[in-house]
Amino acid sequence: SDTESLPDGSAELPLRVMLVPADGGTEDGTRADFEPIFNGITQVYDLHFDIRVGSSYNAVVEAMANDQVDIAFFGAVSYQIAKQRANVELLAVEERDGKSEYFSGIYARADSGIDSLEDFAGKTVAFGDVSSTSSFSYPAAMLLEAGVNPAQDLKAVVLAGNHANALRALVSGNVDGACASLDSFKKAVDDGKLSEQELKLVQKSQPIPSPPLAMNGNLADKTKTQLKTAFREIHEHPDVELRSLKGYAGKNIDRYNPDFSEERFDLAMAPLDAVTKELKDAMIRRAAEGN
């Protein structure tokens, strides 16, 4: 037919993988983290991949909707959006110590006298990216729950772009609070970018499902099954030497779990019901108005 066919993982039509570096990841770092596992799958299951590293989730979602990308990481929230806009299916979720979760937090300077979320009323808070689960949606929900409407009760809203920028704005004194995942905070501390004493965690979120690896639902069923099998088994395959399996943001994980239930994502989204599009719009407006 005229219609261009979708990849099946053959050497001629490799599956197109689009990776977006997580906070604190560089392009080659991200590539280095994931190439071993994909190479391993190629070696064992004869599934071929074309791996690219880009930096816009937005483009990834749209490209998947247009059959231009086959496999990609999403955050918990952007996965929901992707499901809305495109035919996306869960491929696998990383697992460590039997768990697939991480945490978000709101930080303040250690000497600021801010001890609870209520104290942020009338203060300036830096968020990461609006499409980020842990540096935007969850913290916004936490503030709302504490009675602080981030669109109305803050002195100013700063959209710092990512976790690290938010933390940096906090360190430099430009804002009073910063939203970031605990992993990002830890990475910044490990790399010597922050000192642990300078900042304090005001509130930790409930567990958030780890960022899922998703695939284009339009792929052939056979390909989808092959992929799921591969991710389920690769970590214990005797022929592959995966010295360490990497997950999102390059942390070490135990395995990939392709059987994680979609409902658990829906459940995890429940606390975010209050973070409506209107609230986001209003926060963006506040951010656009400057300070």
- Which positions touch other proteins (CB under 8 A)? 1-4, 16, 18, 21, 23-28, 52-63, 65-69, 81, 84-85, 129-131, 156, 158-159, 161-162, 164-165, 168-169, 172, 174, 190-193, 195, 243-244, 277-278, 280-281, 284-285, 287-291
What is d(CA 163, CA 181) in angstroms, rounded to the nearest whole number? 7
One-letter-per-residue 3-state SS of the chain: CCCCCCCCCCCCCCEEEEECCCCCCCHHHHHHHHHHHHHHHHHHHCCCEEEEECCCHHHHHHHHHCCCCCEEECCHHHHHHHHHHCCEEEEEEEEECCECEECEEEEEECCCCCCCHHHHCCCEEEECCCCCHHHHHHHHHHHHHCCCCCCCCCCEEEECCCHHHHHHHHHCCCCCEEEEEHHHHHHHHHCCCCCCCCEEEEEECCCEECCEEEEECCCCHHHHHHHHHHHHHHHHCCCCCCCCEECHHHCEECEEECCCCHHHHHHHHHHHHHCCHHHHHHHHHHHHHCC
What is d(CA 117, CA 109) in angstroms, rounded to the nearest whole number? 13
- Amino acid making up residue 262: E
Q: Shortest approach of other proteins to residue 283 CB, angstroms?
A: 9
Q: Shortest approach of other proteins to residue 2 CB, angstroms?
A: 4
The residues near 43 (Cβ < 8 Å, ≥ 6 apart) are: 239, 240
Q: Shortest approach of other proteins to residue 65 CB, angstroms?
A: 7
> Is the CB of 261 or the CB of 276 nearer to other proteins?
276
Q: Shortest approach of other proteins to residue 104 CB, angstroms?
A: 18
Q: Shortest approach of other proteins to residue 219 CB, angstroms?
A: 15
> Is the CB of 149 or the CB of 229 nearer to other proteins?
149
> Is the CB of 18 or the CB of 202 nearer to other proteins?
18
CB-CB contact of 74 with 22 (8 Å): no
> Is the CB of 270 or the CB of 288 nearer to other proteins?
288
Q: Shortest approach of other proteins to residue 202 CB, angstroms?
A: 22
Q: Shortest approach of other proteins to residue 230 CB, angstroms?
A: 22
> Is the CB of 83 or the CB of 255 nearer to other proteins?
83
What is d(CA 210, CA 182) in angstroms, rounded to the nearest whole number? 13
> Is the CB of 193 or the CB of 224 nearer to other proteins?
193
> Is the CB of 63 or the CB of 143 nearer to other proteins?
63
> Is the CB of 143 or the CB of 194 nearer to other proteins?
194
Q: Shortest approach of other proteins to residue 174 CB, angstroms?
A: 5
